[in-house]
Amino acid sequence: MSREDLRALPQVQQPSYPDAAALDRVVDALEKRPPLVFAGECDDLREQLAEVAAGRAFLLQGGDCAETFDALSADNIKRKLMVQLSMSVVMTYAAQVPVVKVGRIAGQYAKPRSKDLETREGVTLPSYRGDAVNGFDFTPEARTHDPERLMRVYDASSATLNLVRAFTKGGLADLRAVHLWNAEFVRDSRVESEYEQLADEIERALAFMVACGVRDHTLSTVDFYASHEALLLEYERALTRIDSRTQQPYDVSGHFLWIGERTRQLDGAHVELLRRVRNPLGVKLGPTTTPEQAVALADALDPDHEPGRITFITRMGARRIRDVLPGLIEGVEASGRQVAWVCDPMHGNTFETANGFKTRSFADVADEVHGFFDVHERLGTWPGGLHVELTGDDVTECVGGAYSLTEDDLAARYETACDPRLNRNQSLELAFTVAQRLRALRSTRHNPVQEFAIKEF
């Protein structure tokens, strides 16, 4: 799609740059940059997501609500990776299904906002829209929308991906090091000791496999994919490339891109732009989504019913999920589609505390996850995955969980630039909750491999 064609479409949640020529210069530069991810990797992920949709794998998608330029460091990336590897090992071991690992990472720098403006003590300025658009500080300079920031997004994403690739292919993710992923963290909670116990078991199982002669790179490397909300149309379009193998367009800013709850208008620019790229796509669905809207979105984005193309990420809120999700699933199933259903238990459960912090309660988050599993269990459909905002740091942003954080604790380490994230302990606790539900499911579902073996016999 050309720059002009994109600009002619109805757009929401976009920056308003004071200098149009400056934007064009940045777009020119971005169009020349090398891809951040490769088309073949996007295809691999799409195939793995097809397994999720078919009920043979589980997706773990996690990371910051908003990445920031200041937080870009090796330690930060490493801790985020380690918490997600720990979570996925908990889920894989318990449920015995492959876990597809996707970070909200290397591109998650732009945020949709419910209000364009923010007022503090009588001063009104544009809202913070993520480091991709403007600065967090409450000053007129910081809050001005600046297209040069898109170049910094590209550079920060490139540095992040470089390290992610090194860590996941270069030994850090070696399954035989499960204990090490935990070593940097305080081990004094119930969740930590549960994790240590599981790591012992895994270590024994692996030693057994190695003794049996299994020497395989699957023990020492993992596939970890990058994803972000494809919010900024100019950036995403400028990073679209024609793949030399297939002659098809891919958005090479990330492997997996999703359209947010606020930008998924059927006739809007986001749907129109992403419809044309071959990456696997997510769409966030909030509690007011109708089954007809979900089907229409799938029809627009995936007219060929391609396996793994569409992931619906539902974010209903703990109080709504059991009422709203069944109708959506039934409507989509009735249209003959097989999509991946993923639960985002964060965005429907945000509230503000009396002392002014935007937070979420771990109990609500866990309850929405339970609701998600309850609904799928009742309908006989596959709960395909979890989409969470988390960090490897011991922040205090969500209340409850293993350390029973209270509203008064939030001030201690409230560091998010946007929504509150689960800290490492809360993340692991949620992984154990999911693992327990997956294990229960496994014992009740028929095993397709077994069935095949019996038929063959």
Q: Which stretch binds Co ion (CB under 5 A): 63-71, 114-122, 154-162, 287-295?
A: 63-71
CB of 227 to ligand PEP, least distance (A): 10
Out of Co ion, ligand PEP, none, what residue 261 binds, judged by CB under 5 to 8 A for its kind, is: ligand PEP
Q: Which of 55, 62, 63, 260 binds ligand PEP (CB under 6 A)?
A: 260
Q: Closest distance between ligand PEP and the C-beta of residue 167, in Å?
A: 24
Helix-, strand-, coil-residue percentages of the chain, each rounded to 5: 45, 15, 40
Stretch that binds ligand PEP, among 16-24, 177-185, 254-262, 332-340 (CB under 6 A): 254-262
Residue 381 and residue 445: Cα distance in Å, rounded? Answer: 11
Structure tokens at 119: 């007022």
Give the position of tokens 């985020």.
80
Nearest approach, Cβ of residue 64 and Co ion (Å): 8
Nearest to 412 by CA among 361, 363, 453, 359: 359
Report the residue from 255, 284, 360, 376 that binds ligand PEP according to the rule CB under 6 A: 284
Q: What residues between 332 and 371 interact with ligand PEP by CB under 6 A? A: 347
* Cβ-based burial of 274 (10 A; exposed 0-12, middle 13-18, buried ≥19): buried
To which residue do tokens 């997004």 refer?
153
Binding span for ligand PEP by CB under 6 A among 67-75, 143-151, 258-266, 357-365? 258-266
CA distances (Å), 212 to each of 209, 215, 216, 308, in order? 5, 9, 12, 35
Out of ligand PEP, Co ion, none, what residue 284 binds, judged by CB under 5 to 8 A for its kind, is ligand PEP
> Please, which of residues 415-444 interact with Co ion by CB under 5 A?
419
94: contact with ligand PEP by CB under 6 A: no
Q: Interface with ligand PEP by CB under 6 A: which range of 12-20, 188-196, 257-265, 371-379? A: 257-265
Tell the smallest beta-carbon distance from residue 206 to ligand PEP (Å): 35
Nearest to 185 by CA among 403, 379, 373: 403
* Residue where the block lists tokens 């691999």: 44
Nearer to Co ion, 39 or 285 (CB): 285
Dihedral (C-alpha) 314, 319, 325, 328: value to the nearest 10 degrees? -90
Among 43, 67, 192, 261, binds ligand PEP (CB under 6 A): 261
Nearest to 189 by CA among 435, 412, 413, 427: 427
Position closest to ligand PEP via CB: 260
One DSSP character per residue, 366-425 reads: HHHHHHHHHHHHHHT----EEEEEB-SS----SBBTTTTB-GGGTTTT---SSS--B-HH
Candidates 30, 57, 65, 102; binder of ligand PEP (CB under 6 A) is 65
Q: Which is nearer to Co ion, 255 or 284 (CB)?
A: 284
Shortest distance, position 262 Cβ to ligand PEP, whole Å: 6
Near ligand PEP by CB under 6 A, which window of 39-47, 122-130, 255-263, 368-376?
Answer: 255-263
Q: Are 321 and 372 in contact (CB under 8 A)?
A: yes
Site of interaction with ligand PEP (CB under 6 A): 65, 112, 229, 260-262, 284, 315, 347, 419
Name the residues that contact Co ion, by CB under 5 A: 65, 419
